[in-house]
């Protein structure tokens, strides 16, 4: 078992890689009651085509999400949600573009819940009947989301940003596509990607490391590694697909979505550093203490705002979502910020101090630490042990050089207005 010191945070992370390739990450706390377990596979809706048994295979859209749903159906009839709830524990799962994870979290019966989580993820039970039954459930889920304006805003914005990448599609797929899914599709994708050398387990909170690793080995040592399928990548244009779009929905207050697409291949920074500097740029532009926030507050232009970066092969993509009674004016203010970006040493150093303080405070929160370590594994293939030092060593000269390389005009703007103008 390898010990990793999370520098400047006074906490240790323990890792072990089984002979079959399964990675285990453990972050124990002695002074907490809660624990959080995540069992994840590096397989999500990004995979549109891969080679299996020497042939190309393109499953219907939404298979990864469908697979997540079906693993909660056991041949024994036991409902995993019921199993976890009987010990006062919560269980759940989620599918993203690049990962699927199965989780449980609580304060009691750690050993039993860890063992059961590992067991049910490793005993798929797909039949023609239960696959057909799930189609109605997921179809209703898709219909429900299609009626949510914020969801429509996100999907439309993704379609404006991406030309070919799977990120332009909904993770759940479409009703037409999921109706094509068969149990053979599910088994083929499961057997290709739900294998130990493509999966990891992350545990954070109150638990015993030796007990946890023993349970994991008892359950998974007999699993063998396999040759992972070759995934077919899609060529994506550097430019956004569509620059501007206006749509109308049944909403009270107009919404906007803005996407900035940044090709990352020529930016000359490793992924961790690049993400830090990109987040610095957007914090300076639109953070809570930015000049933009103060200006739109005084002018009462902004109801709420949310932004994030997303990483894909060869691209970093920035999403900004906001609601405003005056969307045209708000877009003007946002465009002004992009087109007149400047960085002061004062703002740069202030943000660094805030980030370092937040990193230190996060250590005390089991769920936030789990989320941070999980995101690291997804984004970088391993936990980042020296993040505080990386932040402390950030250089404003590097930031300014990066800003010169980014084409900030490679962005798209989506406006969502009310169908009924009287509501404005």
Q: Is 259 helix (H, G, I), strand (E, B) or coil?
A: strand
Mean per-residue pLDDT of the chain = 95
CA 152 to chain centre: 18
**Which residues share a beta bridge with 244?**
413
CB atoms within 10 A of CB 411: 21
- pLDDT exceeds 80 at position 94: yes
Domains of the chain by start residue, with CATH:
2-220 (3.30.830.10), 244-423 (3.30.830.10)
Local confidence band at 226 (pLDDT 50, 70, 90 cut-offs): very high
Nearest one of 196, 56, 193 to 118, comparing CA atoms: 196
- pLDDT exceeds 80 at position 420: no
Residue 295 and residue 293: Cα distance in Å, rounded? 5
Contact 398, 277 (CB under 8 A): yes
Where helices occur in 26-148 by DSSP H, the ranges are 63-70, 80-85, 110-121, 128-146
pLDDT at 424: 42
Local confidence band at 421 (pLDDT 50, 70, 90 cut-offs): low
Residues 6+ apart with CB under 8 A from 172: 62, 65, 138, 141, 142, 145, 178
Contact 261, 278 (CB under 8 A): no
Task: Give the model confidence (pLDDT) of 117-169 as tens digits.
Answer: 999 999 999 999 999 999 999 999 999 998 999 999 999 999 999 999 999 99
Task: Give the model confidence (pLDDT) of 314-371 as tens digits.
Answer: 999 999 999 999 999 999 999 999 999 999 999 999 999 999 999 999 999 999 999 9
Catalytic residue among 16, 23, 55, 68: 68
Phi then psi dihedrals of residue 180, to 5 deg: -85, -15
Q: Is 253 helix (H, G, I), strand (E, B) or coil?
A: coil
pLDDT at 312: 92
The stretch 98-102 carries a mean pLDDT of 97
Q: Is 133 helix (H, G, I), strand (E, B) or coil?
A: helix
The stretch 12-25 carries a mean pLDDT of 97
Helix (H) or strand (E) holding 416: strand 411-418
Tokens 């990193």 identify what position?
359
Q: What percent of the chain is predicted at pLDDT more than 90?
A: 92
Instruction: Transcribe 2-56 into DSSP letters.
Output: EEEEETTTTEEEEEEE-TTS-EEEEEE-SS-S-EEEEEEES--TT---EEETTEE
pLDDT at 422: 52
The stretch 166-195 carries a mean pLDDT of 96
- pLDDT exceeds 50 at position 202: yes
**Which residues share a beta bridge with 169?**
none
The stretch 58-74 carries a mean pLDDT of 95
Catalytic residue list contains 68: yes
The stretch 229-240 carries a mean pLDDT of 94
pLDDT at 78: 82
- pLDDT exceeds 90 at position 302: yes
Contact 161, 260 (CB under 8 A): no
pLDDT at 423: 44
Residue 110 and residue 89: Cα distance in Å, rounded? 9
pLDDT at 72: 94
Nearest one of 214, 188, 223, 217 to 52, comparing CA atoms: 188
pLDDT at 76: 87
Task: Give the model confidence (pLDDT) of 251-287 as tens digits.
Answer: 999 999 999 999 998 898 999 999 999 999 999 999 9
The stretch 70-75 carries a mean pLDDT of 92
The stretch 238-247 carries a mean pLDDT of 97
Residue 191 and residue 187: Cα distance in Å, rounded? 6
Looking at per-residue pLDDT, the higher value among 106 and 76 belongs to 106
The stretch 181-188 carries a mean pLDDT of 97
């Amino acid at each position: 078992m390898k010990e990793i010191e999370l520098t400047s945070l006074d906490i240790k992370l323990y890792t072990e890689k089984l002979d079959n390739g399964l990675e285990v990450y453990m972050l124990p706390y002695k002074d907490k009651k809660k624990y959080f377990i995540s069992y994840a596979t590096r397989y999500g809706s990004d995979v549109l085509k891969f080679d299996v048994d020497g042939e190309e295979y393109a499953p219907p859209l939404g298979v990864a999400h469908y697979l997540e749903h079906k693993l909660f159906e056991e041949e024994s009839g036991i409902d995993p949600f019921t199993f976890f709830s009987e010990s006062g524990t919560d269980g759940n799962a989620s599918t993203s573009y690049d990962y699927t994870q199965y989780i449980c979290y609580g304060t009691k019966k750690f050993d039993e819940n860890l063992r059961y989580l590992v067991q049910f993820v490793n005993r798929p039970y797909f039949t023609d009947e239960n696959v057909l039954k799930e189609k109605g459930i997921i179809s209703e889920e898709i219909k429900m989301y299609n009626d949510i304006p914020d969801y429509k805003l996100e999907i439309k914005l993704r379609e404006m940003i991406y030309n070919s990448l799977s990120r332009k599609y909904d993770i759940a797929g479409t009703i037409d596509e999921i109706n094509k899914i068969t149990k053979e599709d599910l088994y083929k994708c499961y057997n290709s990607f739900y294998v130990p050398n493509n999966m990891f387990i992350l545990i954070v909170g109150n638990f015993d490391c030796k007990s946890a690793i023993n349970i994991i080995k008892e359950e998974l040592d007999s699993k063998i590694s396999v040759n992972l399928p070759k995934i077919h990548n899609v060529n994506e244009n550097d430019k956004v697909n569509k620059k501007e779009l206006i749509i109308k929905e049944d909403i009270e207050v107009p919404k906007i979505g803005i996407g900035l697409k940044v090709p990352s291949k020529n930016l000359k920074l490793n992924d961790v550093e690049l993400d830090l500097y990109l987040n610095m740029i957007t914090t300076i532009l639109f953070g809570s203490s930015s000049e933009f926030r103060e200006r739109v507050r005084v002018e009462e232009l902004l109801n709420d705002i949310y932004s994030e970066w997303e990483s894909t092969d060869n691209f970093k993509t920035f999403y900004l979502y906001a609601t405003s009674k005056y969307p045209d004016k708000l877009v003007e203010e946002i465009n002004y910020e992009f087109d007149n970006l400047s960085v002061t040493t004062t703002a740069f150093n202030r943000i660094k101090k805030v980030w370092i303080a937040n990193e230190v405070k996060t250590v005390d929160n089991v769920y936030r630490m789990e989320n941070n370590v999980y995101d690291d594994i997804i984004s970088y293939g391993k936990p980042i042990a020296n993040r505080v030092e990386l932040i402390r060593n950030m250089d404003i000269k590097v930031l300014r050089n990066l800003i010169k390389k980014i084409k900030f005009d490679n962005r798209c703007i989506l406006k969502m207005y009310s169908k009924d103008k009287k509501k404005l």
